[in-house]
Amino acid sequence: MNLKALNQNELDLRIKSLAQKEREVLHEVLETLKEIDARKSYLNFGFSSLFEYLVHGVGYSEGSAQRRIDAARLLRELPGVAEKIQTGEINLSQISLVQKAAREVIRTRAASVTAEQKMEVLENLGKKSYGQTQQQVAAFFDLPIAQGTYKKVHADESVRVEFTLTKEAFAKIKNAQEILSHAVPTQDLAVFLEYLADKVIKQKAGRTKENAPVHKANFESKDKMPNIANLSELDEVTANVAVNITDRSLTSANKRIIFKKQPCCQWVDPQSGRRCESKWLLQIDHKQSRWAQGSNQLGNLQVLCAAHNKLKYMREAGIRNIS
């Protein structure tokens, strides 16, 4: 179509008609997402979450993916919202704000938010701007107006992050800065956050080292004992040496070896060959399960994310629908 040949009224009609089609397609997208979410079929394709699937498998931006997930999950609770989306009465950003506020109420007050409450707030959002919606949703749930976290990666890979803290959260951080002022003698929040991150990482590494039991008696000579304090030496330790420690329990040494070799989820979709590679909630899985006489030998161990570990368990147990 030659758009240049259209007069302004025809262009006006055309954009309104296309916008309506777009909303109808959006509704179909959300219904499809609802079904995918219920079946968790993205796990089979090698993704650890619906969000990962939409961003890396389907091609949505992170924000678009999250808004669609929020809306699809709201449709499950409130099927009546579909009509409001189709008519354009409410949009995805508004739904996302309501869902985010509900999560905040659950997180901070351990209180539940009913579908009726969500519907009540949505009823009054028709045609409201983003700012007006923010105010109205915050007032309804008695929450401070939340600003989303803004992240921008620079050319040198440094990252600019902007986020808003509640008065209470900010006071806690100031208090922590005062307590640690001898170690971090600056008010710079970025320096303080890096210090905290270093501390957590060091503590975690130290704890693993302390807990790793070394069963000298099970080794024929001291020379064969893996030096678990030195990660680079772990690569030299053969599976047999480490496994001789004991087969009855999964040792911390074996856990460290397997996490060093496999720092992410190893689930592979046999059709596409895609490996999940998620680093969230990693767990050690026995390829052949313990209840099926699977051993604690390194060759029988693999790292999976919690979602894929659960999927594997459900499959083995013959449970079809997972939640």
State the minimum distance, in angstroms, from the CB of residue 144 to Zn ion. 35
Q: Which residue has the tokens 């856990």?
A: 255
Q: Kindly list the residues in this chain that would bind Zn ion in the complex (CB under 5 A).
A: 48, 265, 267, 276, 278, 305, 308
Indicate the residue among 242 and 305 with the shorter CB distance to Zn ion: 305
Indicate the residue among 98 and 265 with the shorter CB distance to Zn ion: 265
Indicate the residue among 286 and 308 with the shorter CB distance to Zn ion: 308
State the minimum distance, in angstroms, from the CB of residue 54 to Zn ion. 16
Indicate the residue among 48 and 94 with the shorter CB distance to Zn ion: 48
Q: What backbone torsions phi and psi does residue 275 show, to the nearest 5 degrees?
A: -95, 140
3-state secondary structure of 163: coil
Token duo for residue 115: 């579908």
Q: How far is residue 166 from each of residues 116, 198, 229, 232, 274, measured CA to CA in Å? A: 27, 25, 42, 44, 40
Token duo for residue 222: 């001291």
Sign of CA dihedral 259, 260, 261, 264: positive
Indicate the residue among 66 and 278 with the shorter CB distance to Zn ion: 278
Token duo for residue 207: 């704890």
State the minimum distance, in angstroms, from the CB of residue 292 to Zn ion. 21
State the minimum distance, in angstroms, from the CB of residue 58 to Zn ion. 17
Query: Residue 98 gets which letter from DSSP?
Result: H
Kindly compute the dihedral angle of the four CA atoms of residues 120, 122, 123, 127, in this order, to the nearest 10 degrees: 160
State the minimum distance, in angstroms, from the CB of residue 61 to Zn ion. 22
Indicate the residue among 102 and 304 with the shorter CB distance to Zn ion: 304
Q: Name the H helices within 212-296.
A: 231-234, 239-243, 252-261
State the minimum distance, in angstroms, from the CB of residue 284 to Zn ion. 13
Q: Are residues 298 and 246 in contact, defined by beta-carbon separation less than 8 angstroms? A: no
Q: How far is residue 7 from each of residues 2, 10, 180, measured CA to CA in Å? A: 11, 5, 67
Indicate the residue among 26 and 306 with the shorter CB distance to Zn ion: 306
Q: How far apart are CA 6 and CA 17, in angstroms?
A: 15
State the minimum distance, in angstroms, from the CB of residue 155 to Zn ion. 32
**What is the distance of C-alpha 160 from the center of its chain?**
21
Nearest CA to 218 among 181, 245, 250, 179? 245
Indicate the residue among 45 and 195 with the shorter CB distance to Zn ion: 45
Nearest CA to 285 among 260, 263, 258, 261? 258
State the minimum distance, in angstroms, from the CB of residue 75 to Zn ion. 26
Indicate the residue among 42 and 60 with the shorter CB distance to Zn ion: 42
State the minimum distance, in angstroms, from the CB of residue 311 to Zn ion. 8
Q: How far is residue 30 from each of residues 27, 62, 64, 78, 241, measured CA to CA in Å? A: 5, 16, 12, 13, 53
